[in-house]
Chain A
Amino acid sequence: MKLKVGYIEIRDIMTADKAEVRDGVLYVDTKALEAIALEDEHIKSVKFDVARPGESVRITPVKDVIEPRAKVEGPGDIFPGMTTKVATVGSGTTHVLRGAAVVTVGKIVGFQEGIIDMTGVGADYTPFSATNNLVVDFTPVDGITAHEYEAAIRTAGLKIAYELGKLGKNLTPDETKEYDFPSLMEGIKKYPDLPRVGYVLMLQSQGLLHDTYVYGVDMKQSLTTMLSPTEIMDGAIVSGNCVSACDKNTTYHHQNNPVIEDLFSEHGKTLNFSAMIITNENVYLADKMRSSDWSAKLVDYLDLEGVIISQEGFGNPDTDLIMNCKKIEETGTHTVIITDEYAGRDGTSQSLADADAKADALVTAGNANQVVTLPKLDRVIGTLDYTEKIAGGFAGSLESDGSITVEIQAITGATNELGFSRLSAR
């Protein structure tokens, strides 16, 4: 499968009567976007705001971040099975409004979490301090259930991003990249001497606030399966995950998965990127057994020589991660796992809830228990009412001067387990 991705650089977002992209500025018609959001009977009202890099703005509680993209040529459309028809995506041409993001905000449950600071210390911990963000704050109708509210915000966010993405459809990209994911046999013929490497992407799939959708399918209802990494760039995987702000994969993370990006950049040079496998993280232990068995069976069948496994979330996904790692290693395939750590505030506690001697190659995305104090910022988009309750915040974490002391797990994307973050070690 071949996908050409054209990047249109966006350096600012402004509201206007006419929606368009002109000279690197994304002009948004909030009235038209509001009408799209209100198509859902569960949404009472919606508020738009723009947050730019460097502004003294705190956004919280963040639900999802989505990059506007448009299908220019080729089958299917962005977010297939979710907000567009089911059809295989991942080939042809796609345009991206790079530098722009839709950030959805809404208090689905009282302890909703996720902070994006556009400036100060907090900005260093989230990649979304560097994007121009159209923040959409949703208020639900009265009497709505948490499930209905989550689904409404998730869908409306995707539709708004889709609408913005279309504005880049007829523009000339500032940069174009080509991603060629050949069939297994083609790859082997082309690169007979390079090691065949695969990627096992684990997706959060436990229940309310913990879900991921693939072509519209709730991933907990799927067995481990395969697709082309280019399909993911076209929005085949979207996030319904709202908890664990630091290490959940937002839709934006899926669209821009850095493991996929790096595997493509080494493809044909040091390795042969041969397989993209996706698996779930369910609550039921028998599901964990089945799904990890299936990951290992696929890896074995494809005769891969090395596999990268990335995790999403904390706690019981550690068990899925170790099961995947151990069973794949037992097929004779080397693994490298990517995770983050909950090693206590001083970093000395055991990092994962599970372990195995076969997990001997690990990349860490940081210690989510690390504590930071975020300064008071001039403006809050969303609400701080719940700050002491968000993951990583603690009693009294909102100080009287407006500063917040939190563990970095409160910050959206801080220890992202795809490696889409700014933390590194010296």
Chain B
Amino acid sequence: MVLTSLKRTLLITNNPLVHEKYADKQETEFVDDGFQGVLKAVRDHVHEGYRLLTHPLSGSVKPNENPYKTVLLARSFANTDADSVMLVEQCIITAEKFEKKVIHDKHLHDLQVVDLSLISEVLERNRAT
């Protein structure tokens, strides 16, 4: 099983910085929606036969504090990956319990930078191996 070939991976993001940096390097789907919208797009792809490569709740900035989310998936050649289905569903439930917060526009760029950093650590490292 190949985990690291980027040709088989799909990046789902609502973060413009991530899209800008990686869209021409690997298959990327931009979701024009919030945190939950990304998780739900991830869930839909998991049901279509993708499996999770990164944890949907990456980062300790809480789901209601950072509207940006990027998740890396891999095309699966087997049936729907049950572990991925359970994990993403659990993450959707966890994210829903946080109360809505107002996020100032002035912080959006910094929040994008943190989300970009978390996914870059994965993409750059595994690109090199």
Cβ B107 vs Cβ A110 within 8 A: yes
Instruction: Name the B residues within 8 Å of A315 (CB-CB).
Output: 55, 57-60, 62-63, 94
Instruction: Name the A residues within 8 Å of B122 (CB-CB).
Output: 283-284
Closest A-chain residue to B117, C-beta based?
A208
Cβ B103 vs Cβ A284 within 8 A: no
Q: How far is the CA of A261 from the CA of B59 in the complex (A)?
A: 29
Q: How far is the CA of A82 from the CA of B57 in the complex (A)?
A: 30
B residues touching A (Cβ–Cβ < 8 Å)? 3, 52-63, 65-66, 87, 90-91, 93-94, 97-99, 101-104, 106-107, 110-111, 113-114, 117-122, 125-126
Q: Which of B59, B87, B104, B107 contacts A210 (CB 8 A)?
A: B59
Task: State how many angstroms separate the Cβ of B1 from the closest Cβ of chain A.
Answer: 10
Q: List 22 A-B contacts (CB under 8 A).
A: A110-B110, A111-B110, A146-B113, A146-B114, A146-B117, A206-B121, A207-B114, A210-B59, A220-B121, A244-B60, A284-B54, A284-B122, A285-B55, A286-B3, A319-B55, A319-B87, A342-B94, A344-B97, A349-B97, A353-B94, A386-B107, A389-B104
Instruction: Name the A residues within 8 Å of B107 (CB-CB).
Output: 109-111, 386, 389
Cβ A283 vs Cβ B97 within 8 A: no
Cβ A206 vs Cβ B102 within 8 A: no
Q: How far is the CA of A137 from the CA of B30 in the complex (A)?
A: 38
Residue from A244, A345, A389, A395 with most neighbouring chain B CB atoms (10 Å): A389
Q: How far is the CA of A147 from the CA of B106 in the complex (A)?
A: 19
Cβ A354 vs Cβ B102 within 8 A: no
Task: State how many angstroms separate the Cβ of B20 from the closest Cβ of chain A.
Answer: 16
Instruction: Name the A residues within 8 Å of B66 (CB-CB).
Output: 111
- Interface size for A (C-beta < 8 A) is 42
A residues touching B (Cβ–Cβ < 8 Å)? 109-111, 146-147, 204, 206-210, 220-221, 243-244, 248, 282-286, 288, 313-317, 319, 342, 344-345, 349-350, 353-354, 386, 388-389, 391, 394-395, 409
Q: Which of A208, A283, A285, A286 contacts B113 (CB 8 A)?
A: A208
Q: How far is the CA of A220 from the CA of B59 in the complex (A)?
A: 13
Nearest 3 CB-CB pairs, A to B? A208-B117, A109-B110, A395-B102
Known A-B contacts A146-B113, A204-B60; the reply to A394 vs B53 at CB < 8 A is no
Task: State how many angstroms separate the Cβ of A397 from the closest Cβ of chain B.
Answer: 9
Cβ A210 vs Cβ B60 within 8 A: yes
Instruction: Name the A residues within 8 Å of B119 (CB-CB).
Output: 283
Q: How far is the CA of A138 from the CA of B100 in the complex (A)?
A: 32
Cβ A206 vs Cβ B3 within 8 A: no
